């Protein structure tokens, strides 16, 4: 039976705006010490979604006073040439964070490119050393989307410790690092975490156990109302384009959650767009500022 509860909407735009205001103050403090946080963003090719996302990141940098260096490269760039650019940025004292927008063209090896970024400038948190630090609960850069999910839950006053959390999706960008964050013995952790994936049997039954459900599968509307325990908190990380002939663009963005139906069962839910996305970008700023702050030590 589905109970109509009219879930509280967790507004990612509002949470991110408040966080950016706090980060802008941090930038002012750094500037008083003659340190201007610098972020280099490398975009290879003209993937429409990546272009929109990079443009948004650059606007966010401007809002908080971070220097943004925009490097746009042809999709046919050779890997050695891209690695040389990253090496130059590694050596540039005015750049505190390096982000290579993914996905890269098939002609480039993402693993090699990510490993080339200096770990101390890996503000995306994808370098093996960053992931290793996360797993071992050591200091290091946390991947932006998982960190954004934690910040969103905290801002919404959702108790993570002792909660039963179900994560649908095990990607190394979201699902896997988020699971590590939420079960580790630290602030934002101490949850009991179940990770579901394409080989999971009885998905609906497992998802219904979650006090907190995080959808990060990359499949439109995979999470339906009958899969949600009444009153559960649902965070939708999915960002999927589906055809919509009523719009000039020819498409609209939806998440992994059937929002209209699930919002009648859940206690709180994040929308798409306007949910996790703004927090992902905010945490990129956070990591860049943290990298610059380490210059003061």
Per-residue pLDDT tens, the chain, 297 aa: give them: 444 568 999 999 999 999 999 999 999 999 999 999 999 999 999 888 788 889 999 999 999 999 999 999 999 999 999 999 999 999 999 999 999 999 999 999 999 999 999 999 999 999 999 999 999 999 999 999 999 999 999 999 999 999 999 999 999 999 999 999 999 999 899 999 999 999 999 999 999 999 999 999 999 999 999 999 999 999 999 988 888 778 877 878 899 999 999 999 999 999 999 999 999 999 999 999 999 999 886
Q: Is there a domain that residue 254 lies in?
A: yes
Q: Is there a domain that residue 88 lies in?
A: yes
DSSP 175: H
Q: Are residues 259 and 163 in the same domain?
A: yes
Nearby residues of 13 by Cβ (< 8 Å), 6 or more positions away: 274, 278
Distance between CA atoms of residues 218 and 188, nearest Å: 24
Q: Are residues 83 and 199 in the same domain?
A: no
Q: Are residues 90 and 157 in the same domain?
A: no
Distance between CA atoms of residues 102 and 150, nearest Å: 22
Q: Is there a domain that residue 57 lies in?
A: yes
Active-site positions read 57, 101, 124
Asked if residues 64 and 27 have their Cβ atoms less than 8 Å apart, the reply is yes
């Amino acid at each position: 039976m589905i109970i109509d509860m009219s879930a509280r909407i967790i507004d990612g735009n509002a949470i991110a705006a408040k966080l950016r205001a706090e980060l802008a103050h941090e930038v002012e403090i750094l500037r008083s010490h003659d340190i201007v946080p610098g972020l280099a963003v490398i975009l290879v090719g003209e993937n429409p979604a990546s272009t929109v996302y990079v443009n948004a990141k650059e606007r966010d940098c401007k809002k908080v006073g971070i220097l943004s260096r925009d490097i746009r490269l042809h999709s046919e760039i050779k890997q050695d040439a891209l690695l040389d650019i990253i090496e130059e940025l590694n050596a540039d004292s005015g750049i505190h964070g390096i982000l290579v927008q993914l996905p890269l063209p098939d002609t480039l090896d993402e693993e090699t490119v990510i490993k080339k970024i200096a770990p101390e400038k890996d503000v995306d948190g994808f370098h093996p050393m960053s992931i290793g630090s996360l797993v071992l609960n050591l200091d290091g850069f946390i991947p932006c989307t998982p960190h954004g999910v934690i910040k969103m839950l905290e801002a919404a006053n959702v108790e993570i410790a002792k909660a039963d959390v179900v994560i649908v999706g095990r990607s190394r960008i979201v699902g896997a690092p988020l699971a590590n964050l939420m079960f580790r013995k630290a602030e934002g952790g101490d949850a009991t975490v179940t990770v579901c994936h394409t080989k999971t049997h009885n998905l609906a039954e497992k998802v219904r156990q979650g006090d907190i459900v995080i959808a990060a599968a990359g499949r439109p509307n995979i999470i339906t109302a009958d899969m949600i325990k009444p009153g559960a908190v649902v965070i939708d990380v999915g960002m999927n384009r589906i055809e919509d002939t009523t719009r000039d663009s020819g498409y609209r963005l939806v998440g992994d959650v059937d929002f209209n139906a699930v919002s009648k069962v859940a206690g709180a839910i994040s929308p798409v767009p306007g949910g996790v996305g703004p927090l992902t970008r905010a945490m990129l700023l956070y990591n860049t500022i943290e990298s610059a702050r380490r210059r003061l030590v």
